[in-house]
Amino acid sequence: MVASCYFSSDEETSRPADLCLCTLDSTIPTPARLKRERWAHSATCRPEPMRSQRTAPRLLVLGTSNCILQDSFPGILARQGDVVVCNKSVGASALSFATVVTEGLDLRDFDVVVLDNYINDAGMLHAGIRAADELFEVLQAIVYRVREAGAIPLILGLPTESQLEQPSPFESMMRRFAAAFDVCLLDLCAVLRFLKRKGVPVAELMRDPSHLSPGVQKALALFVREFCFSARRARLVTKQANYNFGQFFVFYPGDFKGEVVRRSSSLCSGVFSIVNEHCPLSLDVQGVFDLWGMLLNSGAPGAHAEILNCEQRFTKNLVFRWSDENPQWFTAQFVDFKSRKAHSGSFQIHVKPEPLLVVDEESLHSRTPLPGRYGSLEVGAIVFKSGRSKAWLEVPEPSATQDNLGRGFLKLLARQASFRGYLVGTSVT
């Protein structure tokens, strides 16, 4: 074990004898207003004891497509079986999706919470859908909730292929965020850029322009596993920070007026509200909020939607598909909206009967409609946000620096024959 590479600790940790595995504890208590069917990863497991009584660490993963591929690190950890893995990742989405999938979860059930937000959050910033302070407001809200529950947040900075050439502005912004809030950050952008300069072929680092290679995923699984075990015995330090974020409110199909349908795939299952030309989505809003985003079934035909609230009216492209061979294949995707006020009264989503040439607002990863396949949305949740409020939090957590985390990951990568030769003579071998 190399726990000392991660935290200020000389203690080694041992493998627990009791092995268990799950992806979602369906027995976790749910607030009364949410006691209805809603979107969630489909699995059940036995209730787990409180943190001090557990033998196996419990890991919650809030990531995107790098965390749900067949050879992803959460899948590797789940198959190994000595870390309890709850994978709530949603592909092609910014971290805003976490406001939906963590509703009803008791975060006290977890020891470590992994946040993978680099690629799609950076895409939101580049596309002008989100401002930097909005992205970091979501991150603050999630980090605060995790720490308040006594769990340890770990941010993974996963790169795209273009970031192996030179750092992106978002990468440096994330390093500043991690330093300001004293959050553990593994900046894989910098680590893999270092390996590329050492001569490692890009094909050994990336399986495609947006996803990590199986070899890097394997090393990442080892890293996260050792992080979970070493975090239990590491020397704790007091971490203090001021937070400033709004409260997120989630509405599910049970809150809407309209037809409801259940969808399922090997990744997830859920209940969605069908929206088409003859059946608009209708919701009563009480108060003044920011319209933040919605969870959709990206396997639905999709449409250009017209959103109406009081005197507001705008159109947005909501057409997605991730398989041209099987376009109706169900998968969940969170769609962020540019910040718009929603006022008390009726909030409606209407589907335009014909595709539009121009819309007021595009969406990340949006596509053009397929001929003969258009005009229906399936909405799993709608998220609104209240105005910001300040909070102070002081927590005991293991200390870790970004550089130490990077060196710890390189040590694990050097164990693989395909990378070992490139790291001979470096400080990590």
Res. 79 pLDDT band, cuts 50 70 90: very high
User: Which two three-digit tokens encode residue 352?
Assistant: 């335009």
Judge whether 173 lies within some domain: yes
Query: Which segment of 6-10, 285-289, 372-376, 421-425 scores lowest on mean pLDDT?
Result: 6-10
- pLDDT per residue as tens digits for the range 291-313: 999 999 999 999 999 999 988 99
How many folded domains does the chain comprise? 2
Q: Read off the pLDDT of residues 393-402 as tens digits, 9 standing for 90 and up.
A: 999 998 888 8
Q: Do 193 and 268 sit in the same domain of this protein?
A: no
Please list, in sequence order, all residues whose beta carbon lies within 8 angstroms of the beta carbon of residue 424, skipping any fewer than 6 positions away.
Answer: none
pLDDT on residue 51: 58
Question: Residue 258: pLDDT band by 50, 70, 90 thresholds?
Answer: confident
Shared-domain flag, residues 262 and 146 = no
Q: What is the pLDDT of residue 104?
A: 81
Residue 10 has pLDDT above 60, yes or no: no
Residue 317 resides in a domain: yes
Mean pLDDT within 307-321: 94
- CB neighbours (10 Å) of residue 175? 18
Q: For residue 308, give its domain range.
A: 249-388
Classify residue 135: in a domain, yes or no.
Answer: yes
Round to whole Å and give the CA distance between 262 and 268: 11
- Note the pLDDT of residue 184: 96
Give, in order, the Cα–Cα distances in Å from 348 to each of 17, 161, 306, 391.
Answer: 54, 40, 8, 33
Q: Per-residue pLDDT tens for 92-142?
A: 999 999 999 998 899 999 999 999 999 999 999 999 999 999 999 999 999
Q: What is the arithmetic mean of pLDDT over 19-24?
A: 25
Distances (CA, A) of 257 to 103, 141, 156, 279: 21, 30, 39, 9
Q: In 91-140, where do the E strands start and end?
A: 112-116
Residue 232 — very low, low, confident or very high, per pLDDT cuts 50/70/90? confident
pLDDT at 43: 29
pLDDT at 52 over 50: yes
Q: For residue 290, give the DSSP letter.
A: E
Establish if 411 belongs to a structural domain.
yes
In a shared domain, residues 52 and 154: yes
Q: Are residues 384 and 271 in the same domain?
A: yes
Q: Are residues 79 and 199 in the same domain?
A: yes
- Residue 19 or 52, more confident: 52
CB 273 within 8 A of CB 378: yes
Is residue 14 pLDDT above 80, yes or no?
A: no
d(CA 90, CA 331): 8
Q: Which of 49-63, 108-122, 296-310, 318-332 has the lowest mean pLDDT?
A: 49-63
Least confident of 4-13, 69-78, 176-185: 4-13
Q: What is the pLDDT of residue 370?
A: 92
What type of residue is 372?
G
Cβ of 160: how many Cβ atoms within 10 Å? Answer: 17
Of the two residues 244 and 267, the one the predictor is more confident about is 244
Whether 225 and 254 map to the same domain: the answer is no
pLDDT of residue 268: 83
Lowest mean pLDDT among 13-27, 235-249, 341-355, 398-412: 13-27
Q: What pLDDT does residue 53 have? A: 60
Look up the CATH number of the domain holding residue 378: 2.60.120.260
Please indicate, yes or no, whether residues 224 and 160 belong to a single structural domain of this protein.
yes
Stretch 254-283: mean pLDDT: 91
Q: For residue 381, what pLDDT is reported?
A: 97
Q: Does residue 259 belong to any structural domain of this protein?
A: yes
Q: What's the pLDDT at 429?
A: 52
Contact predicate 188/391, CB 8 Å: no
Supply the mean pLDDT for the chain: 86
pTM summary value: 0.87
pLDDT for the residue numbered 401: 87
Residues 198 and 297 in one domain: no
Angstrom CA distances, 210 to 329, 345, 353, stand at: 21, 41, 34
Over range 168-175, report the average pLDDT. 94
